[in-house]
Amino acid sequence: MDAAAAAGWADYVEQCPQGTLFHHPDWCAAVQEAFGHRPRHLVAQRGEHIVGVLPLLEINSVLAGRMLVSVPYGTYGGILGDDEDVCAALAGAAVCLAQTRRASVVDLRSAVASAPGFEPVDGYVGFVRDLPDTADEVAAFLPKRARAAARHARDRDGVVVRHDAALLPIVWQLYCRSMRRLGSLNYPLGFFESLRRRLGPRAWVSVAWKDERPVCGTVSFIFRGTITPYILGADERIGCEGAANLLYWSVMERAVGAGLRRFDYGRSRAENRGAVGFKKNQGFEPQALGYQRYVEPGRRAPDLKPSNPRYALARRVWSQLPLPVTRALGVWLSRSVPG
């Protein structure tokens, strides 16, 4: 797109009540830059006015063939439209595009299902809460158990939290370590650098330290009054229970101080007991997400979830490989697995 088209798309997303950062051209441009996926975005107009958008990127996966995804590596995505007719038109255009491009699937990561005729994709949940009015109220906002764990890390273990965008490489290294331990793929550092550059002060980097050693860290993104921690990385070699609790407590306090109103823990697979349990212990209840997909007749939707038994052995081996190896392979393979 040219600059004028991108500006119109951005304005629509920023004004649409269901719009998210993941619908925004900044996100899609960062994905294109870091992973090389081709944009196939759709825009609906009445006259000269934009009335709907569907950000789509084409992925040529070595594991699953060609896919159209809205949007890769994002919590949300899918159709934004002024009314049902717009949503139906964009859904139909996406099906035609899949047939033209011979893509096996159109994958829409909508918070609320809006594509008529697309099948539901179950098993993904989100976690969102309104933040308190003042930073002093954040402690009471957290459940007793989470609050106690955070204070334990701060008062007994001496953990401190620092917020500094220059710490991004440290968080990425922690994140790669965690992903190896979980048998999962890490995204390239360049992806996060591109997002930080495009989002500027709307990208926060936070690290918890113990004895001047980084224990855990997160990268959070801000969009229209909502803060979303996108990744968490931790060094399991430093035994420090409660450091992640303290880290998020500090991010919440900073968010309230900046006037933000909502905290979005992002998505988790419902079967992921560890991630779901941690977020519930923070006082967040899971809500089913309205993910949808269209699968070409006669074809099978790819299953790239880590829980797929097909990948069980590979995940066990992955967690035993040297970290420099998994970092490099993760960067390469993540191009074929859109999150």
Confidence at residue 298, expressed as pLDDT on a 0 to 100 scale: 82
Instruction: Give the model confidence (pLDDT) of 255-265 as tens digits.
Output: 999 999 999 99
* Within-domain flag for 257: yes
Comparing 6 with 68, the larger pLDDT belongs to 68
pLDDT of residue 5: 86
Between CA 160 and CA 215 the distance in angstroms is 10
Is 104 a domain residue?
yes
Residue 306 lies in a domain: no
**DSSP letters of 165-214?**
GGGHHHHHHHHHHHHHHHT-PPPPHHHHHHHHHHHGGGEEEEEEEETTEE
**pLDDT-derived band at 250, boundaries 50, 70, 90:** very high
**Distance (Å, rounded) from C-alpha 192 to C-alpha 73?**
11
**Residue 154 is part of which domain span?**
126-287
Examine the pLDDT at 208 and tell me if it is beyond 80: yes
Whether 131 and 101 share a structural domain: no
Give domain status of residue 165, yes or no.
yes
Whether residue 339 is contained in a domain is answered as no
The pLDDT of residue 149? 96
Q: Which pLDDT score is estimated for 53?
A: 97
pLDDT class of 11 with cuts at 50, 70, 90? very high
- Whether 69 and 86 map to the same domain: the answer is yes
**333 Cβ contact partners less than 8 Å away, ≥ 6 residues apart:** 185
pLDDT interval class at 39 (50, 70, 90) = very high
For residue 51 the two structure tokens come to: 């009335």
Q: At what angle do helices 243-257 and 144-155 cross, to 10 degrees?
A: 100
Q: Could you tell me if 136 and 271 lie in one domain?
A: yes
Kindly report the CATH number assigned to the domain that includes residue 25.
3.40.630.30
pLDDT digits (tens, 9 = 90+) for 138-191: 999 999 999 999 999 999 999 999 999 999 999 999 999 999 999 999 999 999
Report whether 116 contacts 88 (CB < 8 A). yes
Q: 201 with 246, same domain?
A: yes
Q: Looking at the structure, do residues 82 and 18 belong to the same domain, yes or no? A: yes
How far apart CA 10 and CA 53 sit, in angstroms, is 10
Per-residue pLDDT, 305? 85
**Is residue 19 one of the residues assigned to a domain?**
yes
In the predicted structure, residue 1 carries a pLDDT above the cut 80: no
pTM: 0.94
Q: What are phi and psi of 147, to 5 degrees?
A: -65, -40
Residues 294 and 253 placed together within one structural domain of the fold? no
Residues 280 and 137 occupy one common structural domain: yes
Domain assignment present for residue 23? The answer is: yes
- How many structural domains is the chain composed of? 2
Q: Is the domain of 80 the same as that of 102? A: yes
pLDDT tier for residue 114 given thresholds of 50, 70 and 90: very high
| Same domain for 219 and 99 | no
